[in-house]
Structure 1
Amino acid sequence: MTEIDVGRFGIWRRDAELDGEVARKVEGLGYGTVWIGGSPDGELDIAERLLAATDHIVVATGIVNMWATPAEQVAASYHRLNDRHGGRFLLGVGIGHPEASREYRSPYGTIVDYLDRLDAEGVPVSGRVLAALGPKVLRLAAGRAAGAHPYLVTPEHTRRARAELGDGRLLAPEQKVVLDADPARGRALGRSSVAGTYLKLRNYTANLKRLGWTGDDIADGGSDALIDALVAHGGPATAAARLTEHLDAGADHVAVQLLTAPGEDVLPGLRTLAETLGLR
């Protein structure tokens, strides 16, 4: 387990959607961690800005892409951030998507080699987590990292992931949320986030099939049942219940990705959710 206290709930936002003001307000709402999505670059200047703008919230990457960033570069950034900001930085790394790299080959071997190089550069196991979906990489996370940060998963995946990780390792899944009591609107917004990208990436579709979803569920933008499983939509109590399901299934922390209409301020929804979860 990492020595960093990530709290029970955090937020997940793409790097382009984060700045110091957002991080300060999220910290004030009681969330424990800001997860930087969108494969931030290896210099991690965005993490530096978020840490400098806040007092105690943890900043984590979700994730640095192993194909895009040499381990030596991200290790230097890790040490810089850790030295300057008192152990509030958690390094999340992962293999990314085969569709995104022409060099994608032997993914498991690449992960092992990358972790070996982080070891050589002095990045401690307790300071890093691994993006992991399938059993083999989850078991690797149990032995070579503080834990796992699975993305686009359900509470059932969390239950299985905990069984693979065993006790004593951080399990911090991401969960998409839409705060809208209208089922049609909530599902439509959830589908717009999931279908165009993730349901066309084979690491995610393979994981969904391991969980029992079929090709028909995944095709044509995803069945209603699949979208409902991947995106918690409804009122604040409904969303909070889904997040709590992950904790009941074995998660230590849940990274909340709150989906909103284009241009809509995310902070009011995060405030409402924080109040419902009892974070304030």
Structure 2
Amino acid sequence: MTIELGPYGVWQPAALTTPDMARKIEQLGYTTLWVAGPPVDLAGVDELLEATSTLVLGTSILNIWRGDPAAAAAAYHRVTERFPGRFWLGIGAGHPEQTREFRKPLAAMKQYLDGLDAGGVPVEGRAIAALGPKMLDLTAERAGGAVPYLVPPAHTKLAREALGPAAVLAPEMKVVLDANPARARDTARPRIKHPYLGLVNYTTNLRRLGFTYDDLAGDGSDRLIDAVVAHGDAPTVGARLAEHHAAGADHVAIQVITTRHAAHPTLADVELQVYDDEVFAAYETLAAELF
């Protein structure tokens, strides 16, 4: 089974993604749509794929604590039988701050992968949201690739070295289309601070990459924001996204941030952003630069 993600895709919350949005994203030239936080039965995925003709859909991610792997496997087969070559199951271990059931994530992920094996989900049909070395090693052994989130190109380089040349590597990167650096950082900061600077999995990974406690304090330092958010005009953003490819990525999942973004009131809330004309105008501008 071969899944062609293409060089760039769009990341959106599953609960806010409609078939019309998927159709627009495909028409702009993006080859993959990533949906965050889907239910374990992948409800709504069929409709998004049905509304498009070639768009690949990936989950980024399906949280392993929010459903049985047997149910995920059954849903995977339902989707892939209808839309062969157009679906990739991205899974992740979530965060202790958001998951009551959270326990040793590596052991839990291994157990979940065992369940997917039992359900007949092929290794190449699944990806792991791997950040740290142990999870990257597990990904190299038992998944078709990695879908790391909130990572700069420096992480992509390390991930490629850990995964080897064959695995698919598709990091996510946030984008603010604004040539004014100070204003762009102001737009990005609420999206980074809530919830990510309050989630130990992300802060540990960022410290592993050389960011200090001072970088992660408060609203995040300029250095941090500049590393995890590509901002500037379209050519500048395009060059920043290309840094992931130069570091070893096969694909980059783009998440546009605008002033319409709604920050998390609490860590338990789902991720929210108003997907309006402003957001799609940014994706259209980027598409003209990238494709």
TM-score (norm 1): 0.96
Name which of 77, 93, 96 aligns with 2:94: 96
Instruction: Between the two structures, name the one with larger relative contact order (CA 8 Å, sep ≥ 6).
Output: 1
Match of residue 203 from structure 1: 201
1:150-165 mapped onto 2 (5 Å cutoff): 150-165=148-163
Is the aligned partner of 1:272 residue 2:268? no
- What secondary structure is seen at the aligned counterpart in 2 of 1:45? coil
Deviation at 1:161, TM superposition (A): 0.6
Deviation at 1:136, TM superposition (A): 0.8
Deviation at 1:134, TM superposition (A): 0.5
Q: Which runs of 5+ in 1 are unaligned?
A: none
Q: Aligned letter for 1:120?
A: A
Is the aligned partner of 1:168 residue 2:181? no
Is the aligned partner of 1:36 residue 2:49? no
Q: State the Cα deviation string for residues 230-268 of structure 1 (Å, max 9, x = none).
A: 111110011101110000000000000011121442111
CA contact (8 A) 2:173 2:228 kept: yes
| Segment drifting more, 208-217 vs 16-25 | 16-25
Number of equivalences: 276
Deviation at 1:46, TM superposition (A): 2.1
Q: Aligned letter for 1:8?
A: P
Match of residue 121 from structure 2: 123
Match of residue 141 from structure 1: 139
For the residues of structure 2 that align with 1:17 and 1:190, how far apart are their CA atoms?
20
CA contact (8 A) 2:235 2:289 kept: yes
Deviation at 1:188, TM superposition (A): 0.8
Q: Aligned letter for 2:189?
A: R
1:105-124 mapped onto 2 (5 Å cutoff): 105-124=103-122
Match of residue 271 from structure 2: none
| Segment drifting more, 135-144 vs 39-48 | 39-48
Q: Which runs of 5+ in 2 are unaligned?
A: 261-273
- What secondary structure is seen at the aligned counterpart in 2 of 1:98? coil
For the residues of structure 2 that align with 1:139 and 1:46, how far apart are their CA atoms?
32
Deviation at 1:49, TM superposition (A): 1.4
For the residues of structure 2 that align with 1:151 and 1:56, how far apart are their CA atoms?
24
| Segment drifting more, 180-189 vs 53-62 | 180-189
Match of residue 266 from structure 2: none
For the residues of structure 1 that align with 2:222 and 2:75, how far apart are their CA atoms?
42
Q: Aligned letter for 2:57?
A: V
For the residues of structure 2 that align with 1:167 and 1:84, how far apart are their CA atoms?
30
Report sequence identity in percent: 52
Q: State the Cα deviation string for residues 53-110 of structure 1 (Å, max 9, x = none).
A: 1001100100000011110111111000001112211100010111112221111100
